[in-house]
């Protein structure tokens, strides 16, 4: 397996201005005839190389004649004497046999494609690199009964009837695009149709294509799409450019969704929702993913990536755009809290482990392994910081300039930063380190107050940790939104300031500080760093009760809990009253909205506690968290019962109603920690009375961890009601895999043999395996049984679908963080993976790098 390096980038030897494809489609045997117009790029005498993956050429013609060609490692090599040529190839595929779900494959009778990053080469021979942009014309023909709907990118030009019950469609995409944005779909689908009028008055035909039965569950996705289209016009000035926009949902999909030009293809879990089957979180995720894929039309399709090292150019920016959209549609503070939680849960561990890589990686073996939280979520933080430093207006000018300058091009991260600099006049040279230096910067803060002069001096220092292959890093630019809060008054002293910590150490003075100041720093999580600050007694309590910045207030509360939880895990006797009092204050507040309360009452996960400790001992952490939850539940019974008793109609999807439901289930969980018997009764009542999936799942989640007859009753009822509904049945698997009971491992092993479990559907596999692996206490059982189980599952699915398998390897890669016995057991499973014959390069890369 060879590594590819960013510094080796060379422009393509041959360009392909035009691609014509002719598909004769069927599930078992599809014929693809491709005609490429190729043009030599620059002065050289290198042959034309077309990538292929598991393709066998039936025939190859150059300019109409039989050509001299050779296959080198799956790639088609053709010597061309002139500067131009027309290459015709014919291949045969079996979509039904394609278990990798890359290229052309079958999902429940629908034929569909997935090409990013390198799936197009599984359909036909092509350079298949993002800096080769072509105009596509696609003819598809298929049996009319099985595949009445035929879709591809761009505009529908013509349709017709063929022989033997077939029909055909001709599609043309006027926008040159890289091959990874190619898509087609053939199937028996119904459409939810709508019209969107763009800001310049053009009418766009929208359609969401699903199985006929699922049509009633597409309304929210359609509403989200229209909201996203309007938002991109208003906030970024970006208008949609084709006359139609199609979304198709399929059940078997390797990740969330794909932004193919004019024909987005989605994992059905990010399209289908109604109040009976989807939680509020599902609704929010659908809005976020629909918006994300739509936003890619500009940040991804119109301006694409030069090479895959630049992936964050489109992904970091587009995640930032979808985060801002969701914030505007709901609560900005709650959205920020959720995004930071995800960053800490997924990206910080990556940045601190063996697979750490910069936002713009330097090398890869399998590019699919680099669709990471670093490229996506840290990438989004980098964009957010640029906006914070430049200000909203200059940032918008920068994005306008970027889109203008690079429209129709394949660009780099450097191009984006340069546009921001040119539009704002702000020098971002040092800021660029965010693209090249991996690792989460550590910031320490120390404040001294001189009561006599009224001057508070804040001393800040930063350190960027070493990561594999990279030590001795330079200081970065860390924008820290900061304010002082009076220790006595609880009021903010003066305006918020934006401090740029851009050296190893910086001192900042605040004048006119009359009372002892408390430090409210990194507000809104303005820089993605780990902050350590000395806190005086009572400081976090005051900030948690009165910091006017909601995010900072939330942070102080979480920090308060973390301190108690970590102390408890270390075996210290802890005083839980500060946490209880903070929670009491939150519950009693009239100023806070219920969604925020729900967040503030959610304790840091066991994994997060572990991330803050030198050595992770899962049992000690579990016991500590359990004890604090019991104490809180017992002390705040009345207030929690009140919050649990409140409710909102399932049909009400307003942010307020969602908040009420969120708080309801958080309160139920805490109450149950205090009194499991009463909790079981309440949970069963909530489950039975629920008119929506949020309340139902919230209750089931609590029951999942109990030893009570109500548990079996509820899980049984849930299964009977939803067994035919794939997406809801995933929840049934996921909830049991996340359960906090001593027998979770045995239950999960049984579920892996359940008749509804399958390795072939990525959602189902992840529902069981990823949720179990994220269940720290169960997965890290001292016997090592959890490690063996997950390894077995990785190896089993690797034979079918390497992408899905590789995603699960990093949990084992964290072995160095655990106490020695577990570390050794985890390492042994990684060794076992690497020693497995026939391993995919996806899994090989992740496992071998995790061992170094």
Pairing between β-strand 304-305 and β-strand 410-411 as defined by DSSP bridges:
parallel
Interface residue with ligand B3K, options 255, 403, 715, 757 (CB under 6 A): 255
CB of 311 to ligand B3K, least distance (A): 8
Nearest distance in Å: CB 316, Zn ion: 9
Structure tokens at 622: 């579990």
Q: What is the footprint of Zn ion within residues 317-346 (CB under 5 A)?
A: 318
* ∠ CA 173-176-182, rounded to 5°: 60
Interface pattern 258-287 for ligand B3K (x via CB under 6 A): xx----------------------------
**255 versus 403: smaller Cβ distance to ligand B3K:** 255
- Crossing angle for the helix pair 785-798 and 762-773, nearest 10 degrees? 160
293 is catalytic: yes
Q: Of the ranges 52-60, 253-261, 411-419, 818-826, which one interacts with ligand B3K (CB under 6 A)?
A: 253-261
Query: What is the 8-class DSSP label of residue 617?
Result: -
Cβ atoms of residues 267 and 255 within 8 Å: yes
Around Cβ 91, how many Cβ atoms within 10 Å?
22
> Which stretch, 228-236, 257-265, 589-597, 671-679, contacts ligand B3K (CB under 6 A)?
257-265
- The H-assigned helical ranges of 302-391 are 311-329, 332-342, 348-351, 373, 379-390
Q: How far is the CB of 228 from ligand B3K (least distance, A)?
A: 13
CA triplet 766, 769, 771: central angle to 5 degrees? Answer: 80
Residues 311-330 that bind ligand B3K (CB under 6 A): 315
The Cα–Cα gap between 383 and 389 comes to: 10
From Zn ion, ligand B3K, none, which one binds at residue 231 (CB under 5 to 8 Å depending on kind)?
none
**Between vectors from CA 679 to CA 675 and to CA 680, what angle results, nearest 5°?**
125
The binder of 368, among Zn ion, ligand B3K, none, by C-beta within 5 to 8 A per type, is: ligand B3K
In this structure, what are the phi and psi dihedrals at residue 718, rounded to the nearest 5 degrees?
A: -60, -45
- Contact stretch for ligand B3K (CB under 6 A) within 256-264, 417-425, 813-821, 830-838: 256-264
Q: What is the Cα–Cα distance from 462 to 250, expressed in whole angstroms? A: 47
Rounded to the nearest whole angstrom, what is the least distance from the CB of residue 312 to ligand B3K in the complex?
A: 11
Which of residues 282 and 315 has its CB atom nearest to Zn ion in the complex? 315
Residue nearest to ligand B3K (CB): 116
**Total residues at the site for ligand B3K (CB under 6 A)?**
12
Sign of torsion, CA 675 680 685 686?
Answer: positive
Q: Binding partner of residue 715 among ligand B3K, Zn ion, none, CB under 5 to 8 Å per kind?
A: none
Q: Which is nearer to ligand B3K, 211 or 292 (CB)?
A: 292
**Exactly one of 88, 116, 118, 293 is catalytic; which is it?**
293
For the segment 117-156, give every residue that binds ligand B3K (CB under 6 A): 117
Closer Cβ to Zn ion, 294 or 772, answer by number: 294
Cα first-last separation, the chain: 16
Alpha helices in 481-571 (DSSP H): 539-546, 550-569
Instruction: Give me the least distance between CB of 179 and ligand B3K, in Å please.
Output: 13
Q: Of ligand B3K, Zn ion, none, which one sits near residue 371, judging by CB under 5 to 8 A according to partner kind?
A: ligand B3K
* 596 class by beta-carbon count within 10 Å (0-12 exposed, 13-18 middle, 19+ buried): buried
**The entry of ligand B3K, Zn ion, none that residue 258 binds, CB within 5 to 8 Å by partner kind:** ligand B3K
* Of residues 127 and 288, the one with the C-beta less far from ligand B3K: 288
* Both structure tokens of 357: 């890589």
- 434 binding ligand B3K? (CB under 6 A): no
Residue 293 in contact with ligand B3K, rule: CB under 6 A: yes
Of 282 and 366, which CB lies nearer to ligand B3K in the complex structure? 366
Q: Which does 609 bind (CB under 5 to 8 A by kind): Zn ion, ligand B3K, none?
A: none
Cβ proximity of 532 and 442 under 8 Å: yes
Helix (H) or strand (E) holding 737: helix 726-737
Q: Residue 131: which of ligand B3K, Zn ion, none does it interact with, CB under 5 to 8 A by kind?
A: none
Q: What is the DSSP letter of 466?
A: P
Of 100, 269, 292, 357, which lies in the binding site for ligand B3K, with binding defined by CB under 6 A?
Answer: 292
Torsion, Cα 148 153 155 161, to 10 degrees, reads: -30
CB of 823 to ligand B3K, least distance (A): 30
Per partner kind, with CB cut-offs from 5 to 8 A, the member of ligand B3K, Zn ion, none near residue 245 is none
Give the integer Cα–Cα distance in Å for 823 and 537: 37
Beta-ladder partners of 192: 208
The nearer residue to Zn ion, 315 or 541, going by C-beta atoms, is 315
- Work out how close the CB of 779 gets to Zn ion at its nearest, in angstroms, rounded to a whole number: 29
Q: Which residues are within 8 A (CB) of 759 and not within 5 positions of it... i.e. 6 or more apart?
A: 765, 796, 797, 800, 801
Q: Which residues contact 512 (CB under 8 A, 6 or more apart)?
A: 454, 493, 494
Kindly indicate which of the ranges 291-299, 465-473, 610-618, 804-812 contains the residues binding ligand B3K, using the contact rule CB under 6 A. 291-299
Tokens of 458: 């804040």
Residue 115 touches which of Zn ion, ligand B3K, none (Cβ within 5-8 Å per kind): none
**CA 132 to chain centroid:** 27
Q: What is the largest CA-CA distance in the chain?
A: 94
Part of the chain binding ligand B3K (CB under 6 A), chosen from 62-70, 191-199, 290-298, 638-646 = 290-298
Distance CA 599, CA 331 (A): 12
Q: What gap in Å lies between CA 286 and CA 228, rounded to an integer?
A: 12
If binding means CB under 5 A, how many residues of this protein chain bind Zn ion?
2
- Rounded to the nearest whole angstrom, what is the least distance from the CB of residue 439 to ligand B3K in the complex? 24
Site residues for Zn ion, 279-318, by CB under 5 A, read: 315, 318
Binding range to ligand B3K, per CB under 6 A, among 252-260, 402-410, 440-448, 588-596: 252-260
Q: Which does 147 bind (CB under 5 to 8 A by kind): Zn ion, ligand B3K, none?
A: none
Q: List the one residue out of 272, 250, 258, 288 whose CA is nearest residue 109.
A: 250
* Smallest distance, ligand B3K to C-beta of residue 103, A: 12
Region for 783 from its dihedrals, namely left if φ exceeds 0, alpha if ψ lies in -120 to 50, beta otherwise: alpha
Q: How far apart are CA 281 and CA 272, in angstroms?
A: 13
**Cα(252)–Cα(442) distance, integer angstroms:** 41
Minimum distance, C-beta of residue 232 to ligand B3K, in the bound complex (Å):
15
Candidates 371, 434, 435, 779: give the one binding ligand B3K (CB under 6 A): 371
The CB-of-295 to ligand B3K minimum distance in angstroms stands at: 9
DSSP state, residue 121: G
Q: Would you say 300 or 441 has its CB closer to Zn ion?
A: 300
Binding window for ligand B3K (CB under 6 A); candidates: 255-263, 276-284, 765-773, 830-838: 255-263
The size of the chain, in residues, is 852
Instruction: Name the residue nearer to ligand B3K (CB basis): 236 or 255.
Output: 255
Q: Quick check: 374 binds ligand B3K (CB under 6 A)?
A: no
Helix (H) or strand (E) holding 66: strand 65-66
Task: Tell me the DSSP string of 390-444.
Answer: H-HHHHHHHHHHHHHHHTTSEE-HHHHHHHHHHHH----TGGGHHHH--S--EEE
What residues between 341 and 370 interact with ligand B3K by CB under 6 A? 368
Smallest gap from Cβ 371 to ligand B3K, in A, equals 5
Query: Of these partners, Zn ion, ligand B3K, none, which one is at the site of residue 255 (CB under 5 to 8 Å by kind)?
Result: ligand B3K
Instruction: In angstroms, give the least distance from the CB of 117 to ligand B3K.
Output: 5
Q: What is the Cβ-side half-sphere exposure of residue 400, based on CA atoms within 13 angstroms?
A: 13
3-state secondary structure 261-278: CCEEEEEHHHCCCCCCCC
Residue numbers of the site for Zn ion (CB under 5 A)? 315, 318
Catalytic residues, by residue number, are 293
Residue numbers of the site for ligand B3K (CB under 6 A)? 116-117, 255, 257-259, 292-293, 296, 315, 368, 371
């Amino acid at each position: 397996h060879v590594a590819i390096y960013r510094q080796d980038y060379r422009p393509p030897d041959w360009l392909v201005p035009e691609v014509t494809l002719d598909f004769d489609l069927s599930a078992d045997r599809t014929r693809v005839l491709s005609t490429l117009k190729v043009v030599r790029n620059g002065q050289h005498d290198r042959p034309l190389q077309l990538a292929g993956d598991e393709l066998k050429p039936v025939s190859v013609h150059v300019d109409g004649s039989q050509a001299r060609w050779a296959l080198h490692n799956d790639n088609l090599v053709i010597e061309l004497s002139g500067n131009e040529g027309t290459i015709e190839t014919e291949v045969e595929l079996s979509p039904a046999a394609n278990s990798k779900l890359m290229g052309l494959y079958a999902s429940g009778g629908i034929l569909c494609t997935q090409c990013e990053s390198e799936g197009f080469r599984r359909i036909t021979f092509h350079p298949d690199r993002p800096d080769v942009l072509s105009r596509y014309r696609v003819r598809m023909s298929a049996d009319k009964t099985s595949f009445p709907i035929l879709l591809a990118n761009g505009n529908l030009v013509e349709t017709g009837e063929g022989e033997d019950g077939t029909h055909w469609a001709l599609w043309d995409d006027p926008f040159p695009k890289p091959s990874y944005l190619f898509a087609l779909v053939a199937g028996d689908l119904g459409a939810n149709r709508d019209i969107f009028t763009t800001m310049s008055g053009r009418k766009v035909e929208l359609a969401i294509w699903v199985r006929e039965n699922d049509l009633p569950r597409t309304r929210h996705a359609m509403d989200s799409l229209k909201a996203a289209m309007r938002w991109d016009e208003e906030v970024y000035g970006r208008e949609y450019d084709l006359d139609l926009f199609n979304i198709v949902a399929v059940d078997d999909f390797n990740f969330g969704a794909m932004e193919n030009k004019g024909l987005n293809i989605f994992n059905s879990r990010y399209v289908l929702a109604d109040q009976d089957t989807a939680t509020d979180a599902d609704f929010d995720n659908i809005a976020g993913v629909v918006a994300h894929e739509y936003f890619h039309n500009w940040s991804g399709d119109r301006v694409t990536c030069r090479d895959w090292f630049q992936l964050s150019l489109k992904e970091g920016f587009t995640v930032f755009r979808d985060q801002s959209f969701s914030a505007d549609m709901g609560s900005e503070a709650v959205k920020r809290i959720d995004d930071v939680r995800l960053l800490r849960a997924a990206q910080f561990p990556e940045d601190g482990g063996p697979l750490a890589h910069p936002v713009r990686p330097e090398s890869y073996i399998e590019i699919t392994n680099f669709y990471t939280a670093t490229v996506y979520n840290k990438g989004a933080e980098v964009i957010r910081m640029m906006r914070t430093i430049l200000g909203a207006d200059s940032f918008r000018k920068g994005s306008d300039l970027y889109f203008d300058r690079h429209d129709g091009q394949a660009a780099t991260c450097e191009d984006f930063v340069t546009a921001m600099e040119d539009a704002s006049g702000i020098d971002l040279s040092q800021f660029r380190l965010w693209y090249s230096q991996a690792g989460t910067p550590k910031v320490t803060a120390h404040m001294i107050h001189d009561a006599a002069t009224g001057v508070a001096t804040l001393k800040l220092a930063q350190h960027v940790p070493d990561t594999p292959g990279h030590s001795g890093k330079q200081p970065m630019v860390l924008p820290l939104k900061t304010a002082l809060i009076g220790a006595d008054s609880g009021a903010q002293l003066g305006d918020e300031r934006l401090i740029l910590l851009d050296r190893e150490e910086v001192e900042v003075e605040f004048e006119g500080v009359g009372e002892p100041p408390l430090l409210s720093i990194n507000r809104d999580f303005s820089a993605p760093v780990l902050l350590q600050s000395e806190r005086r007694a009572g400081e976090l309590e005051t900030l948690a009760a009165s910091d006017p910045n909601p995010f900072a207030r939330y942070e102080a509360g979480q920090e308060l809990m973390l301190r108690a939880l970590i102390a408890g895990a270390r075996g210290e006797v802890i005083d839980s009253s500060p946490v209880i009092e903070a929670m009491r204050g939150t519950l009693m507040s009239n100023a806070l909205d219920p969604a925020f309360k729900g967040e503030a009452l959610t304790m840091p996960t066991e994994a997060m506690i572990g991330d803050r400790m030198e050595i992770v001992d899962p049992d000690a952490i579990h016991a500590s968290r359990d004890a604090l939850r019991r104490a809180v539940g017992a002390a705040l019974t009345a207030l929690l019962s009140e919050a649990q008793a409140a409710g909102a109609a399932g049909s009400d999807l307003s942010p307020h109603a969602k908040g009420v439901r969120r708080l309801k289930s958080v309160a139920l969980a805490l109450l149950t920690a205090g009194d499991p018997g009463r909790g079981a009764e309440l949970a069963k009542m909530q489950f039975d009375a629920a008119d929506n999936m949020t309340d139902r799942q919230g209750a089931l989640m609590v029951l999942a961890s109990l030893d009570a007859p109500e548990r079996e009753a509820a899980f049984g009822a849930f299964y009977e009601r939803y067994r035919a509904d794939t997406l809801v049945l995933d929840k049934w698997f996921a909830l049991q895999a996340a359960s906090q009971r001593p027998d979770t491992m045995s239950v999960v092993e049984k579920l892996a043999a359940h008749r509804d479990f399958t390795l072939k559907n990525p959602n189902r596999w992840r529902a069981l395996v990823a949720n179990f692996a994220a269940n720290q206490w169960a997965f890290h059982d001292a016997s090592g049984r959890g490690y063996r189980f997950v390894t077995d599952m990785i190896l089993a699915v690797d034979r079918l679908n390497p992408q899905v398998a590789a995603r699960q390897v990093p949990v084992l890669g964290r072995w160095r963080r655990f106490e020695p016995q577990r570390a050794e057991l985890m390492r042994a499973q990684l060794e076992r993976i690497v020693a497995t014959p026939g391993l995919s390069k996806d899994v090989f890369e992740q496992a071998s790098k995790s061992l170094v």
